[in-house]
Amino acid sequence: MDICPKCGLPTAACVCDQIAKTQQRIEVKTEKRRFGKFSTMVSGFDDGVDIKEIAKRLKEKRACGGTIKNKIIELQGNHKGHIKPILVELGFNEEQINE
Ligand SMILES: [Zn+2]
């Protein structure tokens, strides 16, 4: 059985990840790239959350490509207005997402 190093509970019972998610202050920005293409940057994640999993879910929901650089999720295309509801669904705090 795995034990969470933060709270000492079995990982199955641990809610550290959920708590961490509600405390993140997330920033969503779009940037115009070459040839008129857009990128959507989602930043503000810290080590308490599984950024890879979040990136995977965002890419699935928005059917787009994307990468993670320096804890910033960069999605291909302009997804402004669509990121917040997905993050809220994943357990983030709506009031702490600046989109
Ligand atoms: Zn824990």
pLDDT tens, position by position, 44-75? 998 889 999 999 999 999 999 999 999 999 99
Q: What spacing in Å lies between the alpha carbon of 77 and ligand 1's midpoint?
A: 35
For residues 58 and 88, the answer to whether their CB atoms sit within 8 Å is no
**How far, in Å, CA of 41 to CA of 46, rounded?**
15
Residue 89 CA to ligand 1 centre (angstroms): 21
Whole-prediction pTM value? 0.86
Give distance in angstroms: CA of 20 to centre of ligand 1.
Answer: 10
Band the pLDDT of 34: cuts 50, 70, 90. Answer: confident
pLDDT tens for 11-21 read 999 999 889 99
Q: What residue spans of the chain are helical by DSSP H? A: 16-23, 51-62, 83-89
Six-digit token string for 21: 């998610």
* Structure-block tokens of residue 78: 């302009």
Eight-class DSSP state of 9: S
> Bridge partners of 69?
72
- The pair of structure tokens assigned to 6 is 């933060």
Measured in Å, residue 16 CA sits from the centre of ligand 1 at 4
The pLDDT mean for the chain works out to 94
